[in-house]
Amino acid sequence: MVHGVFGNLRGDRSMRHGDHIQKPGKRYMFVCGHGGLLPALGSSNRVGYWQNQSGLCRGGCWQCGVCRRIQQRSYWRGDSPTGLLGRMRMLLKTQRSAAKRRGNSPLQFSADDMVRQWLSQHNLCAACGEGLDIMSAHFDHNHKTGKPRGFVHSYCNLTIGNAKESVARLRACADYLERYQ
């Protein structure tokens, strides 16, 4: 059995002694059981991807593409070993990149603070008070200051955003709806 740097590869039975392991275009079986033809260096496919590692003599090693996708999905959903904290880290990362792209102030909150906020809200929307699922929750914050407000439904978040975060505009909309009930 030939081990990669992280012990994650074993060569297929057709490999001869002295062949280089982890060659692009060769068939490999990862220890996890997934395998197939490795792509060219610098690219990836469903089978594997090249993980750059500066400390290694080859500058990196091959990693299983299937396990990576499963790990990313579970991390995004919050069912990974890091759990809810992993989900909050992903939300924080996407919100910070969106704020940077739009020229808004970045969110002034840590992933740990987001977990505390989520637990304190008891799965309820901070705007309307209805039940909220972690996978559909949006973390609302002031775009000018970056200060957090809480977790809200996507439509509550859109309502606040479309009203340009104006309390007066939202009150006027509520008055309008009450007049025509």
| Each residue's pLDDT tens digit, 63-81 | 777 777 666 666 555 555 5
CB-CB contact of 78 with 84 (8 Å): yes
Count of domains in the chain?
Answer: 2
Note whether residue 32 is domain-resident.
yes
Same structural domain, 86 and 173: yes
**32 with 96, same domain?**
no
Choose between 5 and 22: higher pLDDT: 22
User: What is the crossing angle of helices 65-77 and 84-102, to 10°?
Assistant: 90
- Say how far apart CA 142 and CA 106 lie, in whole Å: 9
1 occurs within a structural domain: no
Residue 20 has pLDDT above 70, yes or no: no
Give domain status of residue 136, yes or no.
yes
In this structure, is residue 48 part of a structural domain?
yes
Which candidate, 50, 47, 51, 41, places its Cα nearest to that of 28? 47
User: How far apart are the C-alpha atoms of 126 and 58, rounded to whole Å?
Assistant: 51
86 shares a domain with 65: no
Same domain, 16 and 96: no
Domain with 58, as residue range(s), is: 9-70
Binned at pLDDT 50, 70 and 90, residue 9 comes out as very low
Q: Are 85 and 32 in a shared domain? A: no
Residue 7 Cα distances to 13, 38, 113, 181, angstroms: 17, 17, 36, 67
Decide if 76 contacts 90 (C-beta within 8 A). Answer: yes
Domain assignment present for residue 4? The answer is no
Examine the domain organization and report whether 31 and 66 are in the same domain.
Answer: yes
> Is the residue at 50 inside a domain?
yes
Q: Is residue 92 part of a domain?
A: yes
Q: Is residue 58 located within the same domain as residue 84?
A: no
